[in-house]
Amino acid sequence: MLNARLQLLRLRRSLLLIALGLSAGAQADDKEVLFNFVRPLDAVQVQTEGAFLPSTTAEATPEGEVLRRVTFNPGEQPSLSLLPQSGSWDWSQQGLMSLRVQSAMDWALTLDVQIESLDGKRLSTRVAIPAGPAQTLLIPLRATSPREQGMRAGAPMPWNQNGRRLLLAETVLGELDATQVRSVTLSMPAPQAVQHLLLGRFGVRAGDQLSEVYAGIIDTYGQYVRADWPHKIKQDEQLKQGARQEDKQLQTWLAERPAQDRFGGWTGAQQFEATGFFRTEKHEGRWYLVTPEGNPFYSLGVNTVARDNSRTYVEGRESMFTALPADGDPLAVNYGSSNNQSDTGANRGRAFASGRWFDFYGANLMRTYDGQTLEQWRGRSQDRLQAWGFNTLGNWSEPGFADDARMPYSIPLSIHGDYATISTGVDWWGGMPDPFDPRFAMAAERAIAIASRDHREDPWLMGYFADNELAWAGRAEDPQARYALAYATLRLTTDVPAKRAFLKMLRDQYRNQAGLSRAWGIQLDAWELMEDPGFQAPLPNPEFPAIERDMQAFLRLFADTYFKTIADSLAWHAPNHMLLGGRFASSIPEAVSACATYCDVLSFNFYTREPQHGYDFAVLRALDKPLMVTEFHFGSRDRGPFWGGVAEVYKEEERGPAYAHFLQRALEEPQIVGLHWFQYLDQPVTGRLLDGENGHFGLVGITDRPWDGFVKAVRDANLAVPKTLLAPAKPKE
């Protein structure tokens, strides 16, 4: 009888909570419910701008939950704000703001959330509210990002915890005084049509949920455990069976390759002069790479074909992994330790950047091949690449490939030393090297001498890249960013050689401070004032065109000095091989033009839908220089790793068509002589050692199983290249 009464009381309580728009489970979660849109009280003010509550009553969702509709009208930033009736909220003892929310549309809605304190400080985040059932949105009351977990992108959301859908905002920017919170604002960025959102309880709670979100997310094979996909590995036998099936496929595909010379150049078509080394030549309006045997060659390459690039730090976050091998286990040979801590943009604020790591890819190779040597791995990798229509080993690939004399390759010149550097504000990999510093020339000489030492007469070497993705500039539309290198140089002390070079250029031009003052429209009382640290030059001004001309002249001098230093040294140490450009990510016209002057090939990393979206090709055509796209990719988030890459598509099935489209558009540009895909393998779900990147854009998964559908689409596109390459180019206007 007592049990029956308890059950009746529980039932009545549940019915009362449902009538209030709550649920028994959710009520326990919110440490403090401040407001309920279903049964609003006077504790919170609701203010709207470009948004409104269309009904005074709530509505039931298909799942039986009762929520209140909010309508956001088309506009720049329609919003709904929640404020205390008076004063402010003290959330200093809480860790999260919570809001029950559901998209009332058949698609995901983008929601901006801003939490502001009385002193004007604010936290902001942007979240995607997916279509489907309601979830509890959780906003940490401090700045945070997935870097705190050691990775580029965080775990997929919403997340189901014991049957509850939680949507945790993992990237929050800004600062907040949690003792005096005055408002929470929900807004939508520029909706083009009316959008509807359903809202319920609003409150705060303790904790941050992160330990629960990331607990046990990686299985024994290095795969994400909370998702499934075709051919996901569940047992070792799948690995072995997959390798056996792939062996048959590879032999068939290798036999179907078109007629080629031993370097991968197409035979039976236009023949060029054979010089014994790779070079470039323009013929009938199209630029070509030419193999050592004199055949046309279009470099279809893959970056980072390497066994050791899939390691991930485990020390300090062992709880993320469900089955790390114990010491003494045969798979324990895949442990090691490193330190990737640095103050570069790529690593700033990242946790778990040093200590013990584990190599899931290496462990999976052991499971699959029972003792595969590095030489056998290289052989299989090259079988794959050639069967898939590739002909080049791209940057950062295993150095041992050079000994195989099977596929052309390139070498990156990683120039390091104690020379001066200059920050442009986009220093993802570090500051710009100061090419006026004699120590830079010494460092370049040393790097080139070492890199070329064993390759001087190697015909398989295409050439050398001059560093990678240097921070030349920021946004072109912002003068302060466009000329960041020049402005930053003038703010330095005269101990920096680049500043002395800039001041000499200006002195030669204007002779004294009076001449400069007239040209720049400033009052400079003494030339020595420019030598002071922190000197701020004026921004470009149409009334004083000399400002912009001088900035451009210095940038060209800087770029000329940089590329000439490298080119001169390379001509001495490796006269038979090409300088393949600077692998531009950010760039300025002065640097591109200087590169065209001193390098054999221009190289760009284009993470765009097609190459033409990456740069103004009218400018590039005017330079009349061969060009290689040295990085591009298309990734998705539906095969385990959390990041879709720099160029993301919605799902795995879209990657192949995106690759084919990019290649087709590249072939329409007679300057482009090759494309290099980034990269061979997926990155670890929990982030690579270098910087925590954790993307799915590989040809091959962490289990060493190729992504079959993608690989087949890539192969079809690659094998169609000769039909276009060997046809006369149509002139571009």
Record the pTM. Answer: 0.92
Q: How far apart are CA 462 and CA 278, in angstroms?
A: 5
pLDDT for the residue 10? 40
User: Which residues, including other chains, have CB under 8 Å from residue 312's CB and lie 6 or more apart?
Assistant: 222, 357, 358, 359, 360, 684, 685, 686, 687, 688, 689
User: Which residues, including other chains, have CB under 8 Å from residue 256's CB and lie 6 or more apart?
Assistant: none
What would the mean pLDDT of 134-145 be, rounded to a whole number? 96
Q: Are 49 and 79 in contact (CB under 8 A)?
A: yes
Residue 520 scores a pLDDT above 80 = yes
Report the SS3 class of residue 301: strand
pLDDT tier for residue 352 given thresholds of 50, 70 and 90 = very high
> Which tops the pLDDT comparison, 471 or 1?
471
Structure tokens at 100: 């029950």
pLDDT tier for residue 3 given thresholds of 50, 70 and 90 = very low
- Is 279 buried (19+), middle (13-18) or exposed (0-12) by CB count in 10 A? buried
pLDDT for the residue 732? 54
Q: Are 218 and 233 in contact (CB under 8 A)?
A: no
pLDDT for the residue 7? 43
Q: Which of 547, 561, 429 is nearest to 483 (CA)?
A: 547
pLDDT for the residue 639? 97
pLDDT digits (tens, 9 = 90+) for 566-588: 999 999 999 999 999 999 998 99
pLDDT digits (tens, 9 = 90+) for 459-494: 999 999 998 999 998 777 789 899 999 999 999 999
Residue 20 scores a pLDDT above 60 = no
Q: How far apart are CA 707 and CA 150, in angstroms?
A: 26
pLDDT for the residue 211? 87
Q: Are 297 and 318 in contact (CB under 8 A)?
A: no
Q: Which of 1, 19, 297, 347 is nearest to 152 (CA)?
A: 347
Mean per-residue pLDDT of the chain: 92
Q: Are 353 and 150 in contact (CB under 8 A)?
A: yes
pLDDT digits (tens, 9 = 90+) for 691-721: 999 999 999 999 999 999 999 999 999 999 9
- CATH, range 2-214: 2.60.120.430
Per DSSP, 611 falls in state G
Three-state SS string over 510-529 comes to HCCHHHHHHHHCCCCCCHHH
Q: Are 705 and 715 in contact (CB under 8 A)?
A: no
Domain boundaries, the chain: 2-214
Q: Are 185 and 79 in contact (CB under 8 A)?
A: yes
Q: Percentage of the chain with pLDDT > 70? A: 94
